[in-house]
Amino acid sequence: MKMLYLVRHGETSWNAEGRFQGATDVGLNANGRRQGALIAERLKGLKVDGIYSSDLGRCRQTAEIIAEKHHMKPAYSQALREICYGRWEGLTREEVKTKYPQEYSTYIENPLGTRIKGAETYYEAQDRVVAEVNKLIEQREVEKLILVMHGAIIRLLVAQFLSIKLEYRNRLDIHNASLQIIRYGDKEPSLTLWNDTSHLNYTLEEGVLDYPPL
């Protein structure tokens, strides 16, 4: 049995402002660091074989907070980065509509078939993250891994593992510092937890103490 614990990074200022982040390196804001501490508290009793993270700052910071509880160092990978949104990065949706109206209109009509200038497609992003995670899973000694990644990239990974069509990816709601769990056994992967943010209802003073073992 192998288990993947998928964590979306904590909040950034661009998350709070509704900006496309993609491959731009944006760090956590104060609330994001608080969220990171709470998800770390949630996961601290979990015995894991490794902690892997996107190499972008918001994931690195979240992973480091989690790893400190396990007396481990995260490993970082470009292959776990968020999908690149090219020239849209740093803009809100309204700003994109104003600045690139034709490109935005084409994207809305056919997001899977549209390449934003300077960006990658959803299929390209899915291929790279699935290949990287499969490589990690195939390590014989690995049973439990924490992966700290981005919202869109987690959706693409889970869509592949659960045979969900990419046009339905946005039906998978995912919040900052949420926990997802995928279990691998003799059969196909199964999703046992999705978008769990119940740990964020605590304060750092209270800790996250009454959860059953993961």
- Catalytic residue ranges: 9, 82
Which stretch of DSSP H or E encloses residue 181? Answer: strand 179-184
Q: Is the dihedral of CA 150, 72, 190, 198 positive or negative?
A: negative
Tokens (6 digits) for 205: 């003073």
Q: Hey, which bits of 29-140 come out as E strands?
A: 50-54, 75-77
Give CA–CA dist 42/159, Å, rounded.
25
Both tokens assigned to 94: 């309204």
According to DSSP, the residues that pair with 193 across neighbouring strands are 181
Return the ∠ at Cα 45 (arms to 154 and 56), rounded to 5°. 35
